[in-house]
Each structure stands twice: as structure tokens, then as C-alpha cells.
Structure 1
Amino acid sequence: MMATVSEQQRKRLHPHKFSLWVAMASILMMFAGFTSAYIVKRNDSNWLQFSLPPVFSFSTAVILASSLTMYLAGRSFKARNMVRYRILITVTAVLGVLFVVLQTMGFKYLQEHGVKLIGSGSNPSGSFLGVITGVHMLHVIGGVIVLIVMFIRAFNRRSKNYSLVPIEVASTYWHFVDAIWIYLFIFFNIVSG
């Protein structure tokens, strides 16, 4: 009887994981709405055609690398290799911050090349790009905050909690925001190109 109950509990989806999946579905719908609106609005006569900043390619490579380090951090945690886990979770957080810095540099590049993202003199095409990538950056920053909390916990000698749930939730979210950026990068290159 006890083994059956334990087996059923292991098969259940943890409440934190369930909440994450609901949140990711909402975020996915939001970005689907943003990109659908972008497609509809680009047919307006005042739509400005421009290429993505070259630095966005570098930020894409950085976020892909961060996905790999996050995956390896999760594997290290499961193997109880805490030294490697600490290094990899730190590298992942640093790569997340670097992604945000590169995106900000991309916005600056656009401003310098006459594509104003917000305010008077802005064009809907630049504003759409600014809003969509800006909202994505906010989600990445949220992920970086979670990684910083995990970093602090990893170096806390008093805490010996080896629950897989936090690393699995953080990893799933991190891979999700990475996939959203890949989608947006491809979308902007195809639709804007």
C-alpha cells in the first residue's frame, strides 16, 4: 500500500512545475499575439524596413551557450557534483546578463542608425521591435534573478537541500526563454528581411 502511494506521488506533477507550465503557456500566447500584430501592422504605408542589429547574432549565440551551461548545471546537480554545478550556474547567470547587455547595445545601434524605438519620431516597426524584444529581455532578467538566487543557495554551506525541483523549474524556464528568443530572431529575420 505504502509503495503504491509513493509511486503515485512521484508520477504527479509538482505544483511549482504546473505553475511554470501555465505561466509559459501565457507567455507563449503573449508573444504569439505580438508577432501576429507585427505581421498585420507591417502592411501599413508608414512601415520602416530595416535590418536587425548585427550584435543580435552575437546575443543569439550567447543565449544558446547559456542553454548548454544550464543543461550541464542540471546534470551536475543531479550527480551531486556541487563544484561543477556552482561553476556552471554562475556561467549561466553571467551569460544571461551578457545577453541583456548585447540586446541593449542592439537598441543603441538602432537609435544611432535612425530607428527610434519609442517617443516622438518613432516608427511602428521600431516600436514593435523594441516592445517585443524588451518584454523578452524582462523575462530573461527574471530568469537571471532566479539564477542568482540559485547561485547564492549553491554557495550557502548551511543549506544541504538536494531537491531537484528548483533546478528543474529554473532549467525549464531558462530553455523556454532561450527558445522564445530563437523564435523571435528567426521571425524578425524572415518577416523583416
Structure 2
Amino acid sequence: MVARSFDENKSTTGIHPLKFSLWLIIISIIMMFAAFTSAYIVRREEGNWLEFDLPSILLINTVVIVLSSVTMQLAHNSAKSNNLQTLKLMLLLTLGLGIAFLVGQWYGWSELVHNNVYFGGSTSNPAGSFLYVLTGVHGFHIITGLIFVLIVLMSSMKYKVHSKNMLRIQLCTIYWHFLGGLWLYLYIFLRLNH
């Protein structure tokens, strides 16, 4: 009997079970945000909608998340070409940019509070609540992405990420690009519908 590593296991569809699971997670997140943004549009049309300026840091955060997607892709490319030092550096940069994004979101929320835009409660308006929910749930997924990046970084420190063992970094890259794309969608949606 020949032992096979988990990385070699494929389902009968030809796709790795972990990739299949990741795509199911991504589809469920897309459905959740589609529901949120649909509810946003429906509720906005009902009236009693507070108009306020979006936090200015959201544009900066958009640039940060795009840059983090670039560094994540460079990490993937480095693993593919066995450039392990660059791989580690790009993963560290992705981690740093992801943390910077979260700090930016926190500043954005602080700006909202300073402008008397709150989440929930009898004195708040649904416009503010929707903004907190959209950015907060996305922020939660960024945290899960950062944990994923950290796991891949630790694996790369143990030389477990390279051209012959790409599954971890492939999954992480797909998820991180998805989170970046999701933020671009949310940012454009908020700009057009705010």
C-alpha cells in the first residue's frame, strides 16, 4: 500500500476537498453580503434615511487592501519559484497591510461616532447601522484571513510552502483576493448608494 499525502488527495470531481470547501465558504459569504446590500437598498427606499459623509479613511483602506492583494500574489509567485525569502517577506507585508486595514476601519468607526452616527439603539438611524454591519462583518473576515496568512507564514518558516507544496498558499491567496474584491464591491456600493 502506498501512502499519499493529504495534498495529493482529490475528490472524484478533480478538485481538492479543501479548495472545494473554500469555494463553498466564499459562495456563502457572497450570499450573505448580497443579502446585506439588498436590504440596504430596500431600507433606504423606505425613507427616514440619515445622509452623512462616509469616513474619508475608506478610500485609503481601499488602496491598502489592493496593495495587500499585490503582496499576497507576490508571495504566491515566490513560493512557486522557490524564492522562500521573498515569500516570507511578502507574507509579512500582507499581514502588516491587513492589520493596517483593520486599524483604518477602527478610525473610520471613530469618525462616525465623532459625527454622531451610531450602531443600533433608539437614537440611531438604520443608515449608520448598515455601515457598521457591512464594514464590521467584512472586518471579521479580514481577521480570519489574517489568521490564515499567519498560518501560511509559520508554515513557510518551517519550509512547508514551496513549489512542490503549494496548497496552503493557493488557498490563502484565493481567500485573500476574494476579501480584497469584496471590499472593492462594498466601497463602490457605498459610494454609489450613500
Global fold match (TM > 0.5): yes
- 8 A Cα contact 2:68 2:97, kept in partner: yes
C-alpha separation between the residues in 2 aligned to 1:37 and 1:159? Answer: 42
Cα offset, 1:157, TM superposition: 5.9
Number of matched pairs: 185
- 8 A Cα contact 2:80 2:162, kept in partner: no
TM-score by length of 1: 0.90
C-alpha separation between the residues in 2 aligned to 1:152 and 1:183? Answer: 31
C-alpha separation between the residues in 2 aligned to 1:117 and 1:90? Answer: 33
Q: What residue number does 1:3 align with? A: none
C-alpha separation between the residues in 2 aligned to 1:23 and 1:164? Answer: 20
Counterpart residue type for residue 95 of structure 2? A
Determine which of 53, 67, 90 is the counterpart of 2:92.
Answer: 90
- 8 A Cα contact 2:148 2:172, kept in partner: yes
Cα offset, 1:77, TM superposition: 0.3
Counterpart residue type for residue 92 of structure 2? T
Structure 2, unpaired ranges of 5+: 1-7
Q: What residue number does 1:173 align with? A: 175
C-alpha separation between the residues in 2 aligned to 1:190 and 1:160? Answer: 42
C-alpha separation between the residues in 2 aligned to 1:87 and 1:150? Answer: 12
Cα offset, 1:65, TM superposition: 0.0
Higher deviation after alignment, 57-66 or 39-48: 39-48
- Deviation per CA, 1:16-55: give whole Å up to 9, x if none: 1000111101100100000000000002332101121000
Structure 1, unpaired ranges of 5+: 1-5
Counterpart residue type for residue 88 of structure 1? M
User: RMSD in angstroms over aligned alpha carbons?
Assistant: 2.0
- 8 A Cα contact 2:78 2:84, kept in partner: yes
Aligned residue runs from structure 1 range 55-134, under 5 A: 55-134=57-136
Cα offset, 1:88, TM superposition: 0.2
TM-score by length of 2: 0.90
Mark the CA change 1:110 to 1:13 in structure 2 (over 3 Å): closer, same or farther.
same
Q: Could you tell me the percent identity over the aligned residues?
A: 41
Q: What residue number does 2:38 align with? A: 36
C-alpha separation between the residues in 2 aligned to 1:83 and 1:28? Answer: 34
- 8 A Cα contact 2:152 2:161, kept in partner: no
